Chain A
């Protein structure tokens, strides 16, 4: 079951947008410490971390992307979202450890909607080559479909 195919955006208020951004900020800004603590955490605390810091922010992040695409974010909110997306990408290795995010998750940000997509600045995505080998077949398949 795919629960999120249809987003009814009219139900989201400006308060919701602020709340979603705040939780997303907490998710991203807490990453360095959570990653440092990760080896000491037991199963329960890891689950708690994924439920609270990540779980309460990631589904709303998708909604934020849709709201951004229809122009519901203020310029300040757009700038904030772009900065958080950029910071998350820079901390992808920690996000993979704590939240299970990967390169596909980063691609999701761009399909959901991110102000970063308007930028020509170079960004760096930290990635372990062994994970690239896992997604290489899919990437290569896409490349083969592109006309020369």
Chain B
């Protein structure tokens, strides 16, 4: 079964997924790549990185590197020295967590699945209770992952057709 097509169908139909479908979505996202296409970094953010790192960062970075820098050095949600591989492994742990909550939704027209699970990140200077992971079914990739205090710090009106699946 094409899991990305299933996610789109769930959003468009507004139906609840079966347990089997949810298991397949979890298995699919728990091995999906984190988006790695290059993205620009705003001068404001680059300035903040200079302040905390003491050196300049590139004007463009692969998306996963952008997220890792922000999580480690600005938000301090992951410990210094975390690699992209470790960061993504922590996101996979959240997706597979037995207590994970799962939502399907549209975000600015993009078909998404969001996972919110108790954080298992170790030695983070400023940890939060949960890890949130967002997967984009159009790109077949995880597009963000961060620690959050709960669903209210993640979801808003701009998350259309929001449906809690688990």
Contacts and interface: CB of A to CB of B under 8 A. Distances in A.
A72 B116 CA distance: 26
B151 A47 contact: no
B70 interface: yes
Contacts of A49: 39
A87 B164 CA distance: 35
Given A51-B143, A52-B144, A62 B156 contact: yes
Interface in B51-80: 63, 66-67, 70, 74-75
Interface in B19-74: 35, 37, 39-40, 42-45, 48, 63, 66-67, 70, 74
B158 A58 contact: yes
Nearest to B136: A47
B42 A59 contact: no
Tell me what chain B mostly uses at the interface: helix, strand, loop, or mixed: mixed
Contacts of B35: 44, 48
B149 A12 contact: yes
Interface string A55-87: 110111011000000000000000000000000
Interface in B88-141: 107-108, 110, 126, 128-129, 134, 136, 139
B5 interface: no
Q: What range describes how many residues of B lie at the interface? A: 35 or more
Interface stretch (A1-9, A115-123, A140-148): A1-9
Contact of B66 (A1, A29, A52): A52
Contact of B39 (A1, A22, A48, A59): A48
Contacts of A45: 37, 39-40
Interface string A1-45: 101100110011001100110100010011001100100010011
B126 A1 contact: no
B101 to A, nearest CB: 10
B146 interface: yes
Interface of A: 1, 3-4, 7-8, 11-12, 15-16, 19-20, 22, 26, 29-30, 33-34, 37, 41, 44-45, 47-53, 55-56, 58-60, 62-63, 100, 108
